[in-house]
Structure 1
Amino acid sequence: MSASAVDTFTDVIRARRSARAFLPDPVPADDIRGVLEDAQRAPSHSNTQPWEVHVFSGDARDRLSEAMLKAFEAGQMSPDFTTTYGADDGVHVQRSQRAGATLYGAMGIARDDADGRAKAVAENLRFYGAPHVALLFVPELGDVVRAANDVGMYAQNFLLSLTARGYHGVPQGMHGLFADAVRDHLGLPADRKLLYGISFGTADPEAAVNRVEMGRAPLDEHIVLHDTSL
């Protein structure tokens, strides 16, 4: 386990960051197994555990990247779930736009630099240089909402376990844009729906984008209290 691992639960939560530049060093197998065992403890509706997780390293990681980049370059997007925001989505769109501007600014990419932005987008499919990526699938159960929520809790355990061990991960919705290409590459049936991937490894401490602090909205923008005092 890395010497930089944090200790308390609150420390782990507040230390978690989405890294977007990684060192090539692989995570030891014992730590990967530990992360997966921690993630497996996530709650799920009636203990259904509706997650199917594919972990890629080495040549398998490279072949997956090539398949996704090929679909990207051909414009063959095939998301299983809606990924865009509507014009009336208000504050949610504003937060997304602010986050994008912050990240591109940290990367030194100007708003009008279309080529630079396209290259930055493609880095999603190179996993930002991370040595490992986990793809999270959900079976087609009902309207999938409940099962997808369970997979989200699995992913949070996964990310927090990485942090506790001194590593970083980044959930990447862009991976879900190429669901058909990924299923074809892996030989998976159509009822395995791709939510997103998590690239993970050791964050590059020299990368400016890894020092970005996104921040969070104050509680009163999200929480309604009913006979509850804070």
Structure 2
Amino acid sequence: MPQSPLFHDVVRDRHSVRRFLPTPVSDAVIRRVVEDAQHAPSNCNTQPWQVHIVSGGARDTLSQALLAADEAGRWTPDFSFATADFHGIYSERSRAQGAAYYQAIGVSRDAFDERRTASLFNLEFFGAPHVALLFMPAFGDSVRVAGDIGMYAQTFLLSLTAHGLGGIPQTMLGFYAETIRESLGIDPSLKMLFGISFGYPDESSDANSYRIGKAPLEESVTFHWQ
């Protein structure tokens, strides 16, 4: 039996993959990943996640629907999001990530058409053969439910890494929540937070050649010893 990777290594090896091989992941491995994720904590053990995993022809049809919705300007997010709302260090980190990605794929700041093409690659799931779409019921202001979904997603992402796979959380997919619900026949009462495209990383791609550093602990953690 192969030795399982250490948690320390899994956490540090996990990164957002932005180019995948077309090779499908076996049903058995996907099932093991979602079984791992099912053990994520949640408020009062509500386990509010409703996860739709889309592959094969359904994945291709959904991608076409998303691209058509974007072309028509049909954005239907269930939750607000705008990078313009970031301020201070949060804005700096966001800009640094974007600059590193576009530099890695050789797209200059003023190459607007190329940047548009790169952005739309989100709606093709970065070439991944699978995408997990994370839906949730709405309770109150939904903040705590969204926190539960975040814990599920992190567990899902770490399990992907432990299985030799890669994934990328995509807020952009949530901008087309109604299109996705219509395409997959999902109950309108379920709200979409984001999606995770996943599969085998294309290690030869420039899109996967860079890493973003994390802030030092002093910027995020305060220790109260007494």
Measured in 2, the distance between the counterparts of 1:46 and 1:212 equals 39
TM-score by length of 2: 0.96
Match of 1:76 in 2: 74
Per mean C-alpha deviation after superposition, the further-off stretch among 83-92 and 54-63 is 83-92
How many residue pairs align between the two structures? 226
Unpaired runs of 5+ in structure 2? none
Measured in 2, the distance between the counterparts of 1:86 and 1:160 equals 29
RMSD, matched Cα: 1.6
Tell me by how many angstroms 1:109 deviates.
0.5
> Which of 160, 164, 167 pairs up with 1:166?
164
* Residues 70-149 of structure 1 mapped to structure 2, 5 A cutoff: 70-86=68-84, 89-149=87-147
Measured in 2, the distance between the counterparts of 1:195 and 1:161 equals 20
Measured in 2, the distance between the counterparts of 1:88 and 1:122 equals 22
Q: Which amino acid aligns with 1:113?
A: A
Tell me by how many angstroms 1:6 deviates.
6.0
Tell me by how many angstroms 1:187 deviates.
2.4
Q: Which amino acid aligns with 2:108?
A: A
Measured in 1, the distance between the counterparts of 2:64 and 2:152 equals 27
Listed one character per residue, the Cα deviations across residues 62-93 of structure 1 (whole Å, up to 9, x for unaligned) are 01111111111111111111211345621111
Q: Does 1:226 align with 2:191?
A: no
Match of 1:201 in 2: 199
> Which of 39, 42, 49 pairs up with 1:41?
39
1:80–1:177 contact (8 Å) kept in structure 2: yes
Q: Which amino acid aligns with 1:217?
A: A
TM-score by length of 1: 0.94
> Which of 15, 21, 24 pairs up with 1:26?
24
Tell me by how many angstroms 1:41 deviates.
0.2
Q: Does 1:12 align with 2:10?
A: yes
In 2 relative to 1, CA 18–88 (structure 1 residues): closer, same or farther, beyond 3 Å? closer
3-state SS of 1:10 partner: helix
3-state SS of 1:223 partner: coil
Measured in 2, the distance between the counterparts of 1:7 and 1:88 equals 36
In 2 relative to 1, CA 127–87 (structure 1 residues): closer, same or farther, beyond 3 Å? closer
Q: Which amino acid aligns with 1:201?
A: G
In 2 relative to 1, CA 88–204 (structure 1 residues): closer, same or farther, beyond 3 Å? closer
Listed one character per residue, the Cα deviations across residues 79-116 of structure 1 (whole Å, up to 9, x for unaligned) are 11121134562111111111001001111101000000
- The percentage of aligned residue pairs carrying the same residue is 51
Tell me by how many angstroms 1:181 deviates.
1.1
Unpaired runs of 5+ in structure 1? none
Match of 1:67 in 2: 65
